[in-house]
Structure 1
Amino acid sequence: MKITVLCNDVAREGFFFEHGLSLLINDYTLFDTGTSDVALKNAHKLGVDLSKVKRIFISHGHYDHIGGLVYLLKEMSNVDLYVHEKALIPKYSGKRFAGVPYDWKEVERKARVHLVEGDMKVDGFNIINNVPTVEKNIDPNFLVEGRHDLFEDEINLYKDGFLITGCAHRGVDNILERASEIFDVRVIMGGFHLKDSSMERIEEVLKVFKQHDVKVIPMHCTGEKAIKFFKENLEDRCIIARAGDIVEV
């Protein structure tokens, strides 16, 4: 599995970064799109031919995962887009709008949109949507339709031993437990949403990582404190990836 990091909160020297996530998987599949045109600019720097992309998966409807889509689609054609219907409902972080930041019709003109509901298989990729809710682990500041957002739209991706998460709002340990019931997970990669978590919570997650003996690639909303802790405790089983990096495990 080759994963090219097009967008992350930190970057290699000479590359762009922002609060967002975008991963190119084996040259033909995109998982998330970042916030703005950062993923596009980094793709250009890396010499990535975006016209080869056949499918895009959107992990959930927050701007830092779906915002860059309209920029990337300008260099794509005949692409399939997989997104949960509830990702398109207006989302908020407190009073601040945090959802899709453009007219969705722009996307529908450029891509074939497939609405995801539940677990499904697409071209050798497994979408994992049916993750049980552990409400105490979900940030209460996130709102949808005037209520606590339980992230029913959140999808995670599994292929060839890799489990990829966007923000893991439903709990990265919870997602890993669910995926491991079905698949042989050897690597977990993406945003783990631990940036504001207590050390007790971070230690809980580390325990589950160790139980499942996975390699860990923490990114985006995992937070510096948690990333440092995982690296100290997992050593070479924790891989640090920045925008501009290519990960092959």
Structure 2
Amino acid sequence: MKITVLVENSPGAKIELEPEFGLSLLIETGERRILLDTGASGRFAINAEKMGLDLETVDWLVLSHGHYDHGGGLEAFFLRNQKAKAIFRRGAERPFFGSLMPSMPDWLHRAGLLTRYIGLDARILSRFSDRIRWIETDVELAPGLRVLTAIPRLHALAKGNHYLLIRRDNRFLPDDFSHELLLVVEEKGEAVVFSGCAHNGILNMLEAVRQNEPWRPIRSAIGGFHLNLPRSEKMSASAREIRELARELGQRVTGEIHTGHCTGAEAFLIMKKELGERLQAMHTGIQFEA
């Protein structure tokens, strides 16, 4: 299985490619191509073209959750690809916001001084509505290719979620991340698990896979783990909590773990001390096997 990081926060060795705050992964397994997320803009598509990758050949687009840094490039994808089935979890269309002071009164949120919109573009969702399949339960897209929505909450959720809100009836409430999903690709009897940001907690996402197929080993976990505060390099969890997370990941995953985007550099280094070469950083333009 080959994974290409089309866009991520950090630049890679290919200087002609442009990073941005967001994530987009191209997954190639056998004859199938899956795009997980589209970054914050059309930059992922421009990078793909520079790398000689044809987005028209993508079979499925899977959106991990309803934030702009994962679905900001939807229009660019739909204009370049006429055939892919787009899989979104119901709820990803709702109005989401990020706030530096999430507990302040609603009227201050509406003023927009410390709160900004971070959801998807409703006009794009309407324009391409015939391309989108909204799901509410676990779905098998094809043999060995599953999207899971039933995520248990046996472990802690990402602490950075505190700053993320949803607007309901003109009130600003904590986002419960019921719009998040995970992608599971099975190969050679093992599972490779993909998350966008793991707002529900990466351990809970791995538990969803275990509960779904308890006999199948998890070979790799790939994606963001949301260990940073929003748009910051400050960690949202303590060093002790991150070390414990790394140990738990190491016990649940048999092979390599690839992470980036919202995981953060400081948290990555702490995890690296626990996991060694099993933990690898994602950067814009890198390609790896999983």
Taking structure 2 as the reference length, what is the TM-score of the superposition?
0.81
Runs of 4+ aligned structure 1 residues displaced above 3 Å come to 133-138
CA shift, 1:10, in A, is: 1.0
Question: What is residue 134 of structure 2 aligned with on the other side?
Answer: 115
Question: What is residue 7 of structure 2 aligned with on the other side?
Answer: 7
Q: Which of 59, 64, 69 is the equivalent residue of 2:69?
A: 64
What amino acid sits opposite 2:48 in the alignment?
Answer: A
CA shift, 1:142, in A, is: 1.1
Which structure would you say has the larger Rg? 2
Say whether the 8 Å CA contact 2:226–2:263 is kept in structure 1: yes
CA shift, 1:171, in A, is: 0.7
Question: What is residue 143 of structure 1 aligned with on the other side?
Answer: 165
Residues 83-111 of structure 1 deviation map (CA, whole Å, 9 limit, x = unaligned): 01200011111221110135122222xx5
Does structure 1 residue 82 correspond to structure 2 residue 87? Answer: yes
Stretches of structure 2 lacking an aligned partner (at least 5 in a row): 100-114, 229-235
Q: Tell me the SS of whatever aligns to 1:25.
A: strand
Question: What is residue 38 of structure 1 aligned with on the other side?
Answer: 43
Taking structure 1 as the reference length, what is the TM-score of the superposition?
0.93
Taking the aligned partners of 1:52 and 1:45, their CA distance within structure 2 comes to 16
Q: Tell me the SS of whatever aligns to 1:48.
A: coil
Taking the aligned partners of 2:220 and 2:22, their CA distance within structure 1 comes to 21
Taking the aligned partners of 1:135 and 1:211, their CA distance within structure 2 comes to 17
Say whether the 8 Å CA contact 1:135–1:150 is kept in structure 2: no
Taking the aligned partners of 2:237 and 2:121, their CA distance within structure 1 comes to 27
Stretches of structure 1 lacking an aligned partner (at least 5 in a row): none
Question: What is residue 149 of structure 2 aligned with on the other side?
Answer: 129
Question: What is residue 162 of structure 1 aligned with on the other side?
Answer: 192
CA shift, 1:204, in A, is: 2.4
CA shift, 1:210, in A, is: 2.1
What amino acid sits opposite 1:197 in the alignment?
Answer: A
Q: Which of 122, 127, 139 is the equivalent residue of 1:106?
A: 127
Aligned-residue Cα RMSD (Å) equals 1.6
User: Structure 1 vs Structure 2: percent identity of aligned residues?
Assistant: 31
What amino acid sits opposite 1:141 in the alignment?
Answer: Y
Does structure 1 residue 197 correspond to structure 2 residue 237? Answer: yes
